[in-house]
Chain A
Amino acid sequence: MQQFSVHKIGPEIQIAGIDLSFTNASLFMVISASIIMLFLFIGTKEKKIIPNKIQLIAEMFYTFVAKMISDTAGSKAKPYFPFIFSLFMFVLFCNMVGMLPYSFTVTSHIIVTLIMAVFIFIAVTIIGFAKHGLKYLSIFVPSGVPVVLLPLITIIEIISYLSRPVSLSVRLFANMMAGHTMLKVFGGFVISLGLLGGWLPLGFSIALTGLEILVAFLQAYVFAILTCIYLNDALNLHH
């Protein structure tokens, strides 16, 4: 579909045989990132006791993420607040910018979400090994399992661990892609049924747009909270 196609903007850039051209995907990432920065800059410029609207929203985002981290990963995860906050804001704004007409949804491409998820996966693994050394491997060996079953359980645990980045990335990508495809299909119905029958799918697509905005927020939330949960597993070893 046209709205998912990636095309180059400007000159082709090749570095060491890798195509690094600026595409519309990169453009919309830059747009999302600049909206976040502008929004937070304006929101934190005047530090009033009684905040104005923008400051209020910026502070709400801050407390929302801070509460999420302290609830799921505890106080040890405080140093990772900047990372999780930027991750949440980036995914949220990419999803939301994608809801605008004629825009491009960066998160509806699996390579974008997979890169983020793999980065989180590797980072969490490194943090785990750095904090606990080789003891971190004990997450693959649950306690209280009969010795006979231990090799089997360990393999299952390893597969379960490796499935984390896949489920993290596929969930975000599939939800965004499916939502936009559904909107497109209902939009197509409006055209093909014309003036007589087109009103019903039009109503549906309005309702679905509302649902999509909810999903856009929810998926950013789920992405961030799962990162917190994985971080919690790496920071606090107990099974």
Chain B
Amino acid sequence: MTIPEDFKTRLKIAKKKIKKQIENDSENRGSFMGNAFKLGTELVAAVAVGTIIGFILDNWFDTKPWLIIIFFFLGTAAGILNVVRTANRMQKED
């Protein structure tokens, strides 16, 4: 299949246009909102996981309710760590 000459030049121009668009444009607008949705669950999930681990370990070692309290706070710390990391990554992206 032969490619006509004028199509080649048009393709070149179109490619240049796309490059420009990618460089200076707002295509990331969608991902901003995606990032905003990300942050909330990031915190909650770590707290929940920490608490569940504490609950399981409490049942294992019969130390109710100490480990669940400790792991709740550790989970909170992990959640904050998650949020900070995600925020850092968001800053690096732009």
Contacts and interface: CB of A to CB of B under 8 A. Distances in A.
A166 B34 contact: no
Interface residues of A, number: 26
Interface stretch (A38-46, A103-111, A200-208, A217-225): A217-225
Contact of B41 (A171, A225, A229): A171
Contact of A167 (B31, B41, B50): B41
A163 B49 contact: yes
A226 B42 CA distance: 11
Contacts of A221: 30-31, 34
A225 B31 CA distance: 10
Contact of A171 (B38, B53, B79): B38
Given A159-B50, A159-B53, A163-B82, A170 B41 contact: yes
Given A155-B74, A156-B81, A218-B33, A163 B46 contact: yes
A229 B35 CA distance: 13
B48 interface: yes
A160 B81 contact: yes
B60 to A, nearest CB: 16
B61 to A, nearest CB: 15
A214 to B, nearest CB: 8
Contacts of A229: 89
A157 B46 CA distance: 10
